[in-house]
């Protein structure tokens, strides 16, 4: 049992100090209106605009810090959080963390990768092989599910060079662009987990004023995330061609249609909740639309 953490009236959020999730995590907190002062060691940032402080740490440490009550929330990859929870499970502990939000960025896969010149026939092929990984628990669970007996070789990093060093036959590693695997003459063959950045927090929720602070912060983050994906699409179309053009509009809000004085044209604007592709714009143009414009949305209050 971990001792109950002392009551705190400031919320503490752990983020990655450096690495793939570090900058987007800071951007998200800034978009939620948080400003902070960095300490000299740059490990602790004192929140100025809200009683929310940041702790800059290694991503792998984030789940443990939340469990110990040192931090309240963390921005971390699902892969790291699940590996941690599986570790607790195998030690006979109940799950403590849950995904409070899925952030939709930092997407990657945990894949099995084999040497490029080998053929892949399926998981059974891994029987008796050595698989290097920094995610031994996730790999063990998957191997169990596949009913394959392979040897898990846990490493703390540089997994992709393990086959060349003779430490392993294949690897189980994170793949984002695939560049690291290609550079090491490996190819991904099957996926164990789809991951993205999440807000991890205690499954039991937060007590005292930190619970309200977390709600406020997450509410603002939701707004910021939604806004980031929102675009305003503007175009002109002949009034007669309106049904055809409207049918091609991306999923979104109701379009506002205005008459253009002295013409048989209308001006149309609509909020879209995701990026608008070039292809979609070309389709709209073929349907009679002109003056097509896609604008980012800076702020919104409806």
Binding site for ligand PRP (CB under 6 A): 19-20, 59, 157, 173-180
Q: Are 102 and 76 in contact (CB under 8 A)?
A: no
Q: How far apart are CA 214 and CA 103, in angstroms?
A: 16
Q: How far apart are CA 15 and CA 184, in angstroms?
A: 30
| Residue placing its CB nearer to ligand PRP in the complex, 58 or 291 | 58
| Residue placing its CB nearer to ligand PRP in the complex, 56 or 249 | 56
Q: Are 266 and 259 in contact (CB under 8 A)?
A: yes
Minimal distance in Å, beta carbon 53 to ligand PRP? 23
Tokens (6 digits) for 263: 């013409």
Specify the stretch interacting with Zn ion by CB under 5 A; choose among 57-65, 86-94, 125-133, 169-177. Answer: 57-65
Q: Which does 174 bind (CB under 5 to 8 A by kind): ligand PRP, Zn ion, none?
A: ligand PRP
| Residue placing its CB nearer to ligand PRP in the complex, 76 or 217 | 76
Q: Which does 34 bind (CB under 5 to 8 A by kind): ligand PRP, Zn ion, none?
A: none
| Residue placing its CB nearer to Zn ion in the complex, 58 or 286 | 58
Among residues 152, 170, 151, 150, which one has the least CA distance to residue 160? 170
Q: What b/e readout covers 217-231, taking b as 16+ CB neighbours within 10 angstroms? A: bbebbebbbeeeebb
Strands (E), the chain: 11-16, 36-38, 44-47, 52-57, 73-77, 97-102, 108-115, 130-133, 151-154, 170-175, 186-195, 197-202, 231-238, 256-259, 265-272, 290-296
- Asked if 59 is part of the footprint of Zn ion (rule: CB under 5 A), the reply reads yes
Q: Which does 20 bind (CB under 5 to 8 A by kind): ligand PRP, Zn ion, none?
A: ligand PRP
Minimal distance in Å, beta carbon 52 to Zn ion? 24
Minimal distance in Å, beta carbon 290 to ligand PRP? 40
| Residue placing its CB nearer to ligand PRP in the complex, 118 or 176 | 176
Minimal distance in Å, beta carbon 223 to ligand PRP? 28
Specify the stretch interacting with Zn ion by CB under 5 A; choose among 56-64, 122-130, 139-147, 207-215. Answer: 56-64
Q: How far apart are CA 278 and CA 282, in angstroms?
A: 6
Among residues 180, 154, 179, 178, which one has the least CA distance to residue 167? 154
Q: What pairs with residue 151 in β-bridges?
A: 130
Provide the 10 A C-beta neighbour count for residue 203.
13
Minimal distance in Å, beta carbon 78 to ligand PRP? 12
Among residues 167, 172, 169, 126, which one has the least CA distance to residue 149? 126
C-alpha distances out from residue 119 to 56, 114, 123, 189, Å: 42, 8, 12, 9
| Residue placing its CB nearer to Zn ion in the complex, 59 or 265 | 59
Minimal distance in Å, beta carbon 56 to ligand PRP? 14
Minimal distance in Å, beta carbon 110 to ligand PRP? 9
Specify the stretch interacting with Zn ion by CB under 5 A; choose among 58-66, 86-94, 146-154, 202-210. Answer: 58-66
| Residue placing its CB nearer to ligand PRP in the complex, 160 or 265 | 160
| Contacting residues toward Zn ion, per CB under 5 A | 59-60
């Amino acid at each position: 049992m971990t001792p109950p953490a002392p009551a705190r009236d400031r919320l503490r959020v752990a983020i990655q100090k450096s690495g793939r999730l570090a900058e987007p995590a800071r951007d998200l907190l800034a978009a939620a209106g948080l400003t902070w002062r960095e300490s000299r060691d740059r490990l602790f940032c004192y929140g100025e605009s809200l009683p929310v402080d940041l702790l800059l740490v290694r991503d792998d440490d984030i789940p443990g810090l939340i469990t110990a009550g040192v931090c309240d929330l963390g921005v971390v990859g699902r892969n790291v959080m699940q590996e941690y929870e599986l570790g607790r499970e195998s030690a006979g502990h109940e799950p403590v963390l849950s995904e409070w939000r899925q952030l939709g960025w930092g997407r990657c896969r945990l894949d099995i990768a084999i040497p490029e010149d080998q053929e892949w026939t399926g998981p059974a092929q891994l029987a008796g092989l050595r698989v290097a990984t920094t995610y031994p628990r996730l790999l063990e669970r998957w191997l169990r599910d596949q009913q394959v007996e392979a040897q898990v070789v846990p490493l703390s990093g540089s997994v992709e060079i393990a086959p060349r060093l003779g430490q392993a036959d294949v690897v189980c590693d994170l793949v984002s662009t695939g560049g690291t695997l290609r550079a090491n003459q490996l190819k991904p063959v099957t996926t164990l987990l789809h991951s993205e950045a999440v807000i991890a927090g205690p499954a039991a929720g937060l007590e005292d004023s930190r619970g309200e602070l977390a709600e406020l912060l997450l509410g603002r983050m939701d707004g910021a995330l939604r806004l980031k994906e929102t675009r305003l699409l503007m175009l002109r179309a002949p009034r007669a061609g309106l049904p055809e053009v409207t049918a091609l509009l991306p999923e979104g809000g109701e379009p506002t249609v205005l008459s253009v004085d002295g013409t048989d044209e209308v001006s149309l604007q609509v909020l879209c909740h995701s990026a608008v592709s070039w292809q979609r714009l070309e389709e709209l143009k073929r349907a009679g639309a002109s003056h097509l414009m896609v604008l980012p949305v800076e702020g919104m209050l409806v």
